Structure 1
Amino acid sequence: MGNPGNSGGGSICRDDRGGFLFAFASAYGVGSNVNAELKAIYDGMEKCLASGLLRVVVESDSQLVVNFLSGSLSPGWKWGYWIARINRLKCRGQFLFRHIFREGKGAVDAMARLGSRDQTTMMMSSRADLPARVRGLLFLDMVGLSSLKESARVVRG
């Protein structure tokens, strides 16, 4: 919510067939969008490991962050703290970091806005616990309509 500005993070963890496992939303205070992205990835990885999930694909709409985490770009000192923490978690499982276009992660963005807006941290272990808007966005993502929306935008452009 601004860069820098009030920030939050969120994650939705799904199984290999797209089934819901858990979600979280967290407030991170004032910071940059890259800082919020790194914190959300760290929190998500930590929750996956705590749940016994050791082989995880982490998707981010920040190509910069994906490049940092895959080792193809040096983060420098500014984000080194969070990169080092994420790297320690990487040693405890198998994590693949992949870029995804923003249109493919509307549900996760809604979770991040929820954490930022409510200035709280919440964990949801049932799909029914998700706000209705997030459930709807998650459904659209699961059936591939978020990708179709982007394709339609490209065709019109």
Structure 2
Amino acid sequence: MGFGWGNPGISRVGVVVRNDKGVIIFKGARRLQDGTNNDAEAQVALMATELAINMKVSKLHLESNSQMIINAIAKANTPSWKLSHWVEIIREKLNSFEEFQGSHVRGGANAVADLLSNIGCDMTCQLAK
């Protein structure tokens, strides 16, 4: 997952779904309403979770460049009141999976999602398989 520019500012997100072998099976991007980086990270985590449910994924490994969002989802910290709504929805949806793991990634490890967030399509779109 990646997000756009400014804080607060333009929010654009990118999502990459890989199979258990690391092969990209879906890439998409969307422009959100303007907001903070944390707003965008929470929304893209929800989008990725919903996408995985729709793709009938049984084991989800969610990677984000936001350690705060990963910790909030894992209940390692309490998110701000502004993010609590998003985090609670994500936690509910995680019941759909046999297994869940969340990881914080840095720098180049999130390069494809970051590139997609910079493109920031006006709607979710499948860019490649």
TM-score by length of 1: 0.74
Q: Is the 8 A contact 1:25 1:121 kept in 2?
A: yes
2:60 counterpart of 1:56: yes
Q: Which runs of 5+ in 2 are unaligned?
A: none
2:126 counterpart of 1:124: yes
Structure 1 position 122, deviation (Å): 2.9
Find the counterpart in structure 1 of residue 6 from structure 2: 2
Partner of 2:93: helix, strand, or coil? Answer: helix
User: Percent same amino acid among aligned pairs?
Assistant: 24
Structure 1 distance, partners of 2:101, 2:20, is: 14
Structure 1 position 28, deviation (Å): 0.7
Q: What root-mean-square deviation, in Å, do the aligned CA atoms of Structure 1 and Structure 2 show?
A: 1.3
2:29 counterpart of 1:25: yes
Q: Kindly indicate whether structure 1 or structure 2 has the higher relative contact order, using CA contacts under 8 Å at least 6 residues apart.
A: 2
Find the counterpart in structure 2 of residue 65 from structure 1: 69
Find the counterpart in structure 1 of residue 39 from structure 2: 35
2:102 counterpart of 1:97: yes
Q: Deviations over 1:39-88 (max 9, x none)?
A: 11110110111011121100011111111111111113121111011111
Structure 1 distance, partners of 2:69, 2:87, is: 9
- One-letter amino acid matched to 2:125: M
Structure 1 distance, partners of 2:35, 2:80, is: 17
Structure 1 distance, partners of 2:21, 2:45, is: 21
- One-letter amino acid matched to 1:101: R
Structure with bigger gyration radius: 1
TM-score by length of 2: 0.89
More strand by share: 2
Structure 1 position 29, deviation (Å): 1.7
Structure 2 distance, partners of 1:30, 1:21, is: 28
Q: Which runs of 5+ in 1 are unaligned?
A: 128-157
Moved over 2 A (4+): none
More helix by share: 1
Structure 1 distance, partners of 2:40, 2:111, is: 16
- One-letter amino acid matched to 2:41: E
Find the counterpart in structure 2 of residue 141 from structure 1: none
Structure 1 position 95, deviation (Å): 2.0
Q: Is the 8 A contact 1:21 1:125 kept in 2?
A: no
